Amino acid sequence: MLKITAYGDRLTDDLDGLNWPVGTLEMQRNWIGRSIGANVDFKLAGSNDSRDHKITVFTTRPDTLFGGTYVVLAPDHPLVDTIAVAAQREAIATYRAQVANRSDRERTEEAADAPKTGVFTGAYAINPVNGAQMPVWIADYVLGGYGTGAVFACPAHDERDYAFAKTFALPIIEVVQGGNVAEAAYTGDGAHVNSGFLDGLNVDAAKTKVIEFLEAGMLGEKSIRFRLRDWLFSRQRYWGEPFPTYEMPDGTIKCLADSALPLELPAIDEYKPTRDGQPPLARAKEWLDVRDPDTGLMAKRETNTMPQWAGSCWYYLRFISPTNDQVAWEPAEEKYWMPVDLYVGGSEHATLHLLYARFWHKVLFDAGLVTTKEPFQRLFHQGMLHRQSFKDEGGKYRYDTEVEQRDGIWYVKGTDIKCATALEKMSKSKYNVVNPDEICDSDGADALRLYELFMGPLEEGTEWETAGVAGTRRFLDRAWRLLVDAETNERTNKVGAAGSTAGSDNKDLERALHAAIKKCTSVIDDLRFNTAISEMMVFVNEATKATAIPYGWMEMFVTILAPFAPHVAEEMWQRMGHTTSITYATWPAFDEAKLLKDVLTIAVQVSGKLRGQVEVPLTATDAEIIAAAKADAKVKTFLEGKEIKREIYVKGKLVNLVAV
């Protein structure tokens, strides 16, 4: 077991400084599930309480103690047998049997207001805040494994307790104002009532005050609980890192000496557990026996292996010093590289790998082996590609090449076996993957890569459409032909020799170039590549129409294309006469001034509706622009007979004439 719960607070609090998707941060918080509340002791009442038994409950709402009307134990709570009165024992036994019969599935599909079941134990507990006697019940909505396995119920302000109280006609006492407890539990904030020394306080203030009261009277204390459980870190499988430990005849566990590392998996004949239920490693009879160098005694190796996480929890650290086999990583390099600046990975890791790795990293931090408290500063989830899948009547998935459509219905080819279709994430097991090798063969790795980036925002995931690759392929072909004649495979003279400035009076082309540079520059940090590719397409479309392209402009274009289509860009770079890789080319700077047109095109609205467009010189004053807008023939017809109440000018964009 690894004591991950000991890090629950830090794993929650340290999320605050991370640049992660908000949904993922939320999922981690929920998974760790920190609840801040109190443990409260309830003494047992009645004649049979000569023994010093008490029930400790955990609650996040100690402020509602005055509204407590009964206490519930989990059916398997150890006190049940002790406190149950004789008359109820049979009913309790029956109920426990019933609960044991319910499947996990049944249990987990239920919600807070699900129908409640339970049995009275016959015992009573005393409410520590007011001395009230409260019946003690058992019910399966209280879980033995969470908190203390016991709760006090305040039906007025908890949905589950409310449903239970209604079922068994238990009293409901309002202690927080704001809802209508005759109809439903009220879980919001409000002033306390019927609560003695808490009356008038809101929830937060009342919590603080009641915890002070409990602690002063030795009746309970503040308590933090986690939904997260400690981590069982062993598996009864072959394929996992073996634990470098062994068990001495007296049962003590020892670690292998450094000189005996690394411990490698032994070869075995069958990767299955043994007949008597031992893990597969128990099959390696000779490997199992090891002599303890200290005592000379024979000992047994551990047969469990580590789970898959053992490697994924620290591989990023090993990547820092991959060729050094003397240390796991070098401290100086760790200092230089850590934390990971950008981690791109699927959201399916949100609560497992990403939590486990953070935990290991914190343990290593406490041991002084890493210098950052968090491993992954920025996290980005790429979306998943989806594609149509086909499943035949027998439930077997089929490849798209195995099916055909007749009269709008899909069949397995040449048969009458119908197929259901669904849009699902691409997966080998769903037979709906597209083999990227085939696309590389037909259209090239650059066209494939470009299309994947062009499909939409990287984090969103979308439907794969193979036909779309044609678009990025066409774009690359067109870019290539700016430079190379398709027929002769020779340099075109559209782009002149190095230094050529022919075509530099083409303002539209220059604007498209600088717009593309600007976009490519900004999107690389944001990982929003799709719009950058659009801008490069605009440039290529413009350049295709141009008769000449200045050499320097072409160089800039090829440079910004390189990160997106490295192979084509590299070849274009060479064709332009370069002898060193484009990787070393300087990233071009864009010029804001070159993004401007010679004239401003101003949209003209009348009362918020677009009615015309006017072109004005860049030097026009606001007043001149508004005058030009009013003078537009089409605009005039909409102003006819109306009075202009307001004139709004949005710099460089539009004029809105509000007229009635």
Q: Is 35 in the site for RNA (CB under 7 A)?
A: yes
Q: Which stretch binds RNA (CB under 7 A): 365-373, 434-442, 578-586, 601-609?
A: 601-609
- Alpha carbon distances (Å) from 570 to 308, 534, 574, 576, 584: 40, 21, 6, 10, 11
- Separation of alpha carbons 553 and 503, rounded Å: 10
Q: Is 512 in the site for RNA (CB under 7 A)?
A: no
Between 58 and 124, whose beta carbon lies closer to RNA?
A: 58
Nearest distance from C-beta of residue 280 to RNA, angstroms: 28
- Separation of alpha carbons 136 and 353, rounded Å: 42
Q: Is 107 in the site for RNA (CB under 7 A)?
A: yes
Between 229 and 272, whose beta carbon lies closer to RNA?
A: 229
Q: Is 5 in the site for RNA (CB under 7 A)?
A: no
Question: Quick check: bond before 563 cis, omega within 30?
Answer: no
Percent of the chain that is helix, strand, coil (3-state, to 5)? 40, 20, 40
User: Which one among 41, 63, 158, 443 touches RNA, defined by CB under 7 A?
Assistant: 158
Between 334 and 452, whose beta carbon lies closer to RNA?
A: 452
Q: Which stretch binds RNA (CB under 7 A): 113-121, 123-131, 242-250, 257-265?
A: 113-121
With beta carbons less than 8 A apart as the criterion, state whether 20 and 379 touch. Answer: yes
Q: Is 371 in the site for RNA (CB under 7 A)?
A: no
Nearest distance from C-beta of residue 109 to RNA, angstroms: 6
Q: Is 382 in the site for RNA (CB under 7 A)?
A: no
Provide the phi-psi class of 461: left if phi over 0, else alpha when psi is between -120 and 50, else beta: left
Radius of gyration over every alpha carbon of the chain, rounded to an integer in angstroms: 36
Between 144 and 266, whose beta carbon lies closer to RNA?
A: 144
Q: Dig out the tokens for 28 from the structure.
A: 């981690």
Between 35 and 372, whose beta carbon lies closer to RNA?
A: 35
Residues 633-652 that bind RNA (CB under 7 A): 646, 648, 650
E strands, 551-640, are: 599-606, 609-617
With beta carbons less than 8 A apart as the criterion, state whether 160 and 146 touch. Answer: no
Between 46 and 345, whose beta carbon lies closer to RNA?
A: 345
Q: 577: how many CB neighbours lie within 10 A of its CB?
A: 11
Between 252 and 462, whose beta carbon lies closer to RNA?
A: 462
Q: Is 530 in the site for RNA (CB under 7 A)?
A: yes
Nearest distance from C-beta of residue 578 to RNA, angstroms: 25
With beta carbons less than 8 A apart as the criterion, state whether 123 and 207 touch. Answer: no
Binding mask 452-471 for RNA (x = CB under 7 A): --xxxx--x-xx-x-xx-xx
Residues 400-439 that bind RNA (CB under 7 A): none
Nearest distance from C-beta of residue 569 to RNA, angstroms: 18
Q: Is 110 in the site for RNA (CB under 7 A)?
A: yes
List the 609-617 sheet strands across, edge first. 609-617, 599-606, 654-659, 644-650
Between 292 and 647, whose beta carbon lies closer to RNA?
A: 647
User: Which one among 534, 567, 571, 620 touches RNA, defined by CB under 7 A?
Assistant: 534
The closest of 307, 303, 293 to 356, measured between CA atoms, is: 307
Q: Is 60 in the site for RNA (CB under 7 A)?
A: yes
Residues 260-319 that bind RNA (CB under 7 A): none
Mapping DSSP onto H, E and C, the string for 155-208 reads HHHCHHHHHHHHHHCCCCCCCECCCCCCCCCCCCCCCECCCHHHCCCCHHHHHH
- Separation of alpha carbons 245 and 257, rounded Å: 9
Q: Is 538 in the site for RNA (CB under 7 A)?
A: yes
User: Which one among 533, 549, 565, 572 touches RNA, defined by CB under 7 A?
Assistant: 533
Between 316 and 464, whose beta carbon lies closer to RNA?
A: 464
Between 120 and 162, whose beta carbon lies closer to RNA?
A: 162
Q: Is 114 in the site for RNA (CB under 7 A)?
A: yes
Q: Dig out the tokens for 255 from the structure.
A: 């670690």
- Separation of alpha carbons 358 and 430, rounded Å: 33
User: Which one among 93, 100, 112, 498 touches RNA, defined by CB under 7 A?
Assistant: 112
Q: Is 351 in the site for RNA (CB under 7 A)?
A: yes
Residues 542-561 that bind RNA (CB under 7 A): 544-545
Between 245 and 531, whose beta carbon lies closer to RNA?
A: 531
- Alpha carbon distances (Å) from 397 to 411, 432, 463: 12, 9, 18
Burial group, residue 531, by CB count within 10 angstroms (0-12, 13-18, 19+): middle
Between 221 and 463, whose beta carbon lies closer to RNA?
A: 463
User: Which one among 404, 477, 570, 571 touches RNA, defined by CB under 7 A?
Assistant: 477
Q: Is 607 in the site for RNA (CB under 7 A)?
A: yes
Number of residues that bind RNA (CB under 7 A): 84
Q: Is 324 in the site for RNA (CB under 7 A)?
A: no
- Alpha carbon distances (Å) from 321 to 103, 339, 340: 49, 14, 14
Q: 647: which strand partners?
A: 657
Between 172 and 299, whose beta carbon lies closer to RNA?
A: 172
Nearest distance from C-beta of residue 264 to RNA, angstroms: 34
Q: Is 78 in the site for RNA (CB under 7 A)?
A: no
Nearest distance from C-beta of residue 557 to RNA, angstroms: 15
Residues 12-31 that bind RNA (CB under 7 A): 22-23, 26-27, 30-31
Q: Which stretch binds RNA (CB under 7 A): 54-62, 129-137, 202-210, 236-244?
A: 54-62
Q: Is 388 in the site for RNA (CB under 7 A)?
A: no
- Separation of alpha carbons 435 and 99, rounded Å: 50
Q: Which stretch binds RNA (CB under 7 A): 44-52, 136-144, 261-269, 278-286?
A: 136-144
Q: Is 613 in the site for RNA (CB under 7 A)?
A: yes
With beta carbons less than 8 A apart as the criterion, state whether 340 and 334 touch. Answer: no
Helices (H), 319-462: 331-337, 353-366, 436-443, 445-454
Q: Is 179 in the site for RNA (CB under 7 A)?
A: no
Phi, psi of 247 (to 5 degrees): -110, 125
Strands 654-659 and 644-650 turn out to be antiparallel
The closest of 405, 453, 593 to 514, measured between CA atoms, is: 593
Between 53 and 528, whose beta carbon lies closer to RNA?
A: 528
